[in-house]
Amino acid sequence: MSATARKIFYGWYIIAASALGICFGHVGTTIYAFSVFTLPLAHAFGWSRGGISFGMTLAHTTATLTAPLMGILIDRKGVRNPTLISTILFGGMLCLFYFLDRDIWLFYGGMVLLAGLGCGTTSVNYVRLLVSWFERKKGLALALGVSGAGLGALILPPLVSWIIARGGWRDAFLVLGLINLFLVAPVIYFVVRNNPADVNSYPDGVLPLEHGEPAQPAAAHSATPYPAPAYPAADSHSKTFRQCLRNATFWKLAVATVLLGLALNGTVSQIVPLLVDRGVARQSAGNLASLLGLAVIVARLGTGYLLDRFHAPFVAAALLICPAAGFLSLAVAPSETVAALTLISFGIGLGLEFDALGYFCVQYFGHAALGRIYASLFALFSIAGAAGSYFAGYSYDVFSSYTALLLCGAAATFVAVIFTAVLGEYPRAREIKASEPRAA
């Protein structure tokens, strides 16, 4: 069926599949849901919080090492097959956690395998997929698709808490694994396609015009899975990966990403124990943590709208002030109400991070090496989150409180605000200004 005759653009199904995959993949499960397992594992095996957090550090480090490799693979081979295989392996590893015993080194090995085999379930794959289907509405597409992380933060902590309360932590791991095997993997197999050409369509479902004549379908005669979009001017600023490494904007993004990974990702890995430390009843902490997911979803939808209409660095910098203030508030005035507001502010920051990062990569660097560029920044976010996860647990073991963690998080986020605000104009905007005739 042609793009003009299709009533519903197939890209919307791609968005839904992406949201589902991110929800139950590495981000939803390892980042948002895993903190619920911290106290049950500590109680079952006598492990310290720092020891359990080190498992998270290993997972994030493994994700860091594998993300650039996955970026290269999907740039060359497409997203669908690597994502499908990785989802199956990820689900299988979660099921094997059912057999975890007292040997903490077995836990560490499992976390390494979980992140390594599940590297194709991260937002690296899905962001690359979404920007191949959308050009004019990529901000909205990224917001909707990557909101799967917010959905995971919304439903997984209370779901895991409920399963643990009734069947134990082993059953919770098993259920998460089966969801990936029997829900997410079939959706990827039957729904996901690499680009619009696979269904005889165009980016955004809009028939482009070239010099007044209808263009050929995107990628119709291309041997590569990710051709340039059907809007030639939109990608005239594309940079190679090596060019990006010599670009100041890339390193500004890198610094901001590392700081946010340390602050947000590290703190979220300890969110349930942190809430208990700040005065929230243990039985309420898992449910209250769902506020984080709700805020992520709302923030991503709002961010997508704003990114398409205003200068993205200013939008991002303004929104990042919220989690910075949240860190500071929870450090100096701990209470259940402040904890709830802080979770909402964290959700705003996390909802912005992956959405804006993918948007920045396209706007500043183009499509040519997008997989590798985004994967590299995601890797930096992951390794910073790995360090943050370990120090979050270790700081509690040392100080018997999370106050120091929260103060450091506030400082790191405020610095990230500055680096984001000074990213500068998009290359395309500079090209347009340079081409305009100057007044005599």
pLDDT tens digit at each of 440 positions of the chain? 444 445 788 999 999 999 999 999 988 888 778 878 988 998 899 888 778 878 887 887 888 788 778 878 887 888 999 999 999 999 999 999 999 988 999 999 999 999 999 989 988 889 889 888 987 787 778 878 887 877 887 888 889 989 998 999 999 999 999 999 999 999 999 999 998 988 888 887 777 654 444 444 444 434 344 444 443 344 556 677 777 778 888 888 889 989 988 888 778 777 878 888 777 776 677 677 778 777 877 877 777 778 777 888 888 888 899 999 989 988 888 777 888 888 888 888 877 776 677 788 888 887 667 777 877 887 788 778 778 877 877 777 777 778 888 898 899 999 999 998 888 888 765 554 444 444 44
Q: Domains plus CATH for the chain?
A: 11-204+234-433 (1.20.1250.20)
Question: Per-residue b/e over 261-282, b at no fewer than 16 CB within 10 Å?
Answer: bbbbbbbbbbbbbbbbbbebee
pTM beyond 0.75: the answer is no
| CA–CA distance, 104 with 101 (Å, rounded to integer) | 8
**Tokens found for residue 37:** 């397992």
Token pair in block for residue 243:
């060019």
Phi-psi region of 229 (alpha: psi -120 to 50; beta: other; left: phi over 0): beta
CA angle 347, 16, 170 (to 5 degrees): 65
Calculate the CA 158 to chain-centre distance.
20
Closest CA to 239 of 433, 378, 427: 427
What residues pair up with 341 in beta bridges, in sequence order? none
